[in-house]
Amino acid sequence: MITSRLLTDADFASLYDCFLLAFTDYEVDMRMSVEQFRQRLMRDGVSLPISAAAFDDERMIGFCINGVGEWQGKQTAYDAGTGVIPGYRGRGVAKELFAFLERRLKEAGVVQYLLEVLTSNVAAATLYRKLGFEDTRRLAVFRPQKGTKSIKKMSETVEVRGIERPDWQLFQSFWDGYPSWQNSIAAVERVVNERHIVGAYIESVCIGYGVVFVPSSNLMQLAVSSQHRRKHIGSTILAALETREHLKINNIDERLTSSLEFYEANGYKRVLNQYEMLKTL
């Protein structure tokens, strides 16, 4: 008999094993160490007491892990991962998990539910829409182009150096849109010990910056002041961040066409797309 319940810290090891098994055939490589999984949950603000799993007797066979925080001015739950292991799919497990969680989220003061799903995952996207989620944005995923070496045009007018304490008021003035939950300011601040931030300076004035989530080499944010664009400053910041290794670039709002063109010009290929979806609870 399949049952659902909320999670506790004691479920972490089982959740990790179930997560890896549920995503073995996923389009994105989700393999990671236990520590990387723990860091991912921290970045996404996951709270196990408002996350749930499905069990067949004592075996965890599916899960829905949630982060909670403010999103666009409202208390929001973020689906940081929903998965069902092979052999149990097509039996309504995910649907039951969402139904089980919805009342608990409302009791916790959550007023909306946010998630992302690959556009190619038609079954999951269809389920979410049936559950009341509505599309808010399409997000692009980039990876380094294999077999080609990007030769970046670099700016000789800026100095790039590390930043310990980001000036978010200044940085937000560089934005044309806003980052996804995983790349948000709150996410960056949750992983102070796992982030790497650099700024581009002309004399003592910061005119651009970039942030990487080090455990998985994910670029979380990169922006340049509108007055200093098309001067190779973004490419200079990107190159400084790539000194560790090639980056993974997730969830770029596809309406920001200049950003899409920027990453393509710097040796990255658009490989996947996601729907960002939101449900009012």
The pTM for the full model equals: 0.94
Q: How many domains does the chain have?
A: 2
Tokens of 175: 């934005």
Q: Do 172 and 216 sit in the same domain of this protein? A: yes
Q: Do 99 and 163 sit in the same domain of this protein? A: no
Tokens of 41: 């949950």
Q: Give domain status of residue 220, yes or no.
A: yes
Q: Do 96 and 160 sit in the same domain of this protein? A: no
Q: Do 152 and 66 sit in the same domain of this protein? A: no
Position 35 scores a pLDDT of: 96
Q: Do 150 and 246 sit in the same domain of this protein? A: yes
Position 158 scores a pLDDT of: 95
Identify the burial level of 204 via C-beta atoms within 10 angstroms of its C-beta, where 0-12 means exposed, 13-18 middle and 19 or more buried. Answer: exposed
pLDDT of 53 strictly over 70: yes
pLDDT of 150 strictly over 80: no
Q: Do 61 and 18 sit in the same domain of this protein? A: yes
Q: Do 159 and 269 sit in the same domain of this protein? A: yes
Q: Give domain status of residue 133, yes or no.
A: no
Single residue among 87, 110, 133 that ends a domain in this structure = 110
Q: Give domain status of residue 121, yes or no.
A: no
Q: Give domain status of residue 85, yes or no.
A: yes
pLDDT of 152 strictly over 80: no
Position 144 scores a pLDDT of: 93
Place of tokens 């909320």: 6
Q: What is the dihedral of CA 234, 239, 245, 246, to 10 degrees?
A: 50
182-238 pLDDT, tens digit per residue, is 999 999 999 999 999 999 999 999 999 999 999 999 999 999 999 999 999 999 999
258-278 pLDDT, tens digit per residue, is 999 999 999 999 999 999 999
> Which CATH number fits the domain that encloses residue 52?
3.40.630.30
Position 243 scores a pLDDT of: 76
159: Cβ–Cβ under 8 A, 6 or more apart, which residues?
200, 201, 202
Position 149 scores a pLDDT of: 58
- Nearest-angstrom CA–CA distance, 168 and 187: 13
The range of the structural domain enclosing residue 171 comes to: 143-273
- Nearest-angstrom CA–CA distance, 113 and 133: 8
Q: Do 149 and 257 sit in the same domain of this protein? A: yes
Q: Do 169 and 101 sit in the same domain of this protein? A: no
Position 146 scores a pLDDT of: 77
pLDDT band for 71, please (50, 70, 90 cuts): very high
